[in-house]
Amino acid sequence: MTKVMEKSKSIVITGHSLGGAAATLCTLWLLSFFHTKTHHHPILCITFGSPLIGNESLSRAIQRERWCGKFCHVVSNHDIMPRLLSTPLPSLSPKLHIIFRYWHLSMASPQFGKLATQLTEREKEELFYIVLAHSNTIFDLGEGSVQSQFWPFGNFFFCSEHGAICLDNAISVLKMLDLMLKTSAPNLSIEDHLNYGDHVKKVGVQYMERKNLNSLCLPNSSYEAGLALALESAGIPFQDEVAHMAEHSLRTASRIGQTPNMNAAKLAISLSKITPYRAEIEWYKTSCDEADNQLGYYDCFKKEDASVRHDRVNMNRHKLATFWNRVIDMWENNELPPDFNMRAKWVNASQFYKLLVEPLDIAEYYRRDTHIVHGHYLKCGRERRYEIFDKWWRGREVTEEGNTPRMKYASLTQDSCFWARLEEAKDLLEIIKRGDVRKLAPIWKSLENFERYARGLIERKEVSEDVIAKNSSYTLWAQELRALKLNM
C-alpha cells in the first residue's frame, strides 16, 4: 500500500460483497494514517453490495472527522447482501456458506456458478423472510429511536433498473434498506447481488438522459415531484403501500439533514447575544492591566476582595461557560453539522473564549485553595470544554500568516494554562526553599523547564502584558528564583 501511495496522486479503493467491507476497513486505516500528516492523497472508497461493518459509535466518530464524503456505498434495491449480516447469524449459518460459495464462483465465471450447490426454493424463501422480518424491527421502535447492531456511515447510492437515489442520513438509510427489500423476491434478492455491473451501466446512461415521471398524476409542487421521482428511481412504485413509508423516510431524511445547519444558525445568533458578557470581561482585563497596583489581569481577579465589579465579571464567566457547555453537548449529540468543529468562526470564537476566560477559572481555583483539597488545576480542575477546544484549535488549517513573528505582546496569553503552570512552579519553589537542593534534583529540573518555557513565550511575545507586570505572580516568582540561585 505504501508503494502504491508513492506512485499515485489519488487513491480509489473498491470492493464487492465482503470485499467491500475489506475496502472500507482499508480506507479507514489510510484515513487514520494520513490524519497526522499535513499533506496527503485524496482518497475515495466505493463499495458494491457491501454489508454494514460498524456500530453507531464508529459512525459518529467518522462524522466528526469529516470522512463521510470519502465513502460511496452502492446498493441494489433487491440485493440481500447489505442486509444479510445485520440478521442474527445462528438462524442463517447453514445457508450462508452455500450462498457465499455460489456468489464467489459466479463472479469468477457464470459457468462455475452453475456447478455450485444451490439453495432450494424453500430455503431461499426461508432466508429471505428471516432477513425481512429482522429488518422490520426498525419500524417497531419509532422514528429517531432505531436500535441496530450495525450503523451506516458515508453516502449510500441506492440503484434500481429505473435509476438511483443517494442518502447520507443513517436512520433513513437503514429504513430504505428494509423498504427496498420489501419490493423484492427470494430468487431476485440472491441473483441481484451479481448484477452491479449492469446497474452501473444503466445509471450512467440514465444520467445522460432526461428523466420523466411515468405516473399519470403529477404532484402539484416541485418538492412532491422530486419525492415521486426519487421513489421511482429507487424502484418503488409511487402508488404502492411501501411507497408511503419510503416517502416518509425521504421526508425525514430531508428534515433531519436541515436540522444541524438550523441549529448552527441559531447558535450563531446566541453567540452574538453573549458578546456583551465577553466584552465586559475584556474591559475588566484592560482596566486591571492599566491599574496603578501593576498586578495585571490574573492577579487582580485572584486577589480582589468581593466587589460589584468582581461579582459582575464572575457572573459573566459563568454565563459564558453555560453557553459553551451547551455547544459541546449539541456537538457531541450530533445536533450540529459534522464539520462544525472545523469551521473557522467557531474554532476562533472558542479559542478566544478559552484564552480570555480560562485564566479567571484558574485564578478562582487557587483563590479558593481548591488545589489543596483536590490537587492542581491542570490534572484535577480543568474543565473538559477547554480540552475539547484545544483539539479544535490544533485541528485547524494553519496559514502562513499564523507563523509570522509578533512585533508586540499578544492581547491574550497564547497558553491559556500559563497561570496554572506558574502556580505549580510556585509550589515547587517553596518545596526547594524548605529542603536540601541536592536531594531535589527532579524538582529543580521541573523548575528550570518551566523557566525556559516562560522565557520562550515572552521572547516570542506570546504573552499578554499582564504576565510581565511589575507585581504579577510571574514577575515575583522569577525574582525569587533568581535570588535562590544566587544564594546556592
- pLDDT tens-digit series, residues 17-63: 999 999 999 999 988 888 766 556 789 999 999 999 988 889 888 88
Per-residue confidence (pLDDT) for residue 436, from 0 to 100: 62
**Selection from 352, 456, 350, 347 nearest residue 405 by Cα:** 456
Per-residue confidence (pLDDT) for residue 216, from 0 to 100: 44
Cα 443 from Cα 14, distance rounded (Å): 56
Per-residue confidence (pLDDT) for residue 389, from 0 to 100: 96
Q: Are 360 and 413 in contact (CB under 8 A)?
A: no
Per-residue confidence (pLDDT) for residue 50, from 0 to 100: 94
pLDDT < 70: residue spans in the chain? 1-2, 36-40, 89-92, 111-117, 135-147, 204-249, 252-258, 398-403, 436-439, 488
Per-residue confidence (pLDDT) for residue 297, from 0 to 100: 95
User: Mutual orientation of helices 222-233 and 241-273 as an angle, nearest 10°?
Assistant: 130
**Selection from 351, 375, 465, 462 nearest residue 423 by Cα:** 375
Name the residues annotated as catalytic.
17, 79, 193
**Selection from 47, 66, 27, 40 nearest residue 341 by Cα:** 66
Contacting residues for 237 by C-beta, under 8 A, at least 6 apart: 183, 231, 243
Cα 288 from Cα 294, distance rounded (Å): 8
Q: What is the domain partition of the chain in residue ranges?
A: 2-257, 274-398+406-486
pLDDT digits (tens, 9 = 90+) for 328-381: 999 988 788 878 988 999 999 999 999 999 999 999 999 999 999 999 999 999
* 137's grid cell: 424491527
What's this model's pTM, rounded to 2 decimal places?
0.68
DSSP 307: -
Q: Are 224 and 150 in contact (CB under 8 A)?
A: no
pLDDT digits (tens, 9 = 90+) for 209-243: 555 555 445 556 655 666 666 666 666 665 566 66
Q: Are 254 and 172 in contact (CB under 8 A)?
A: no
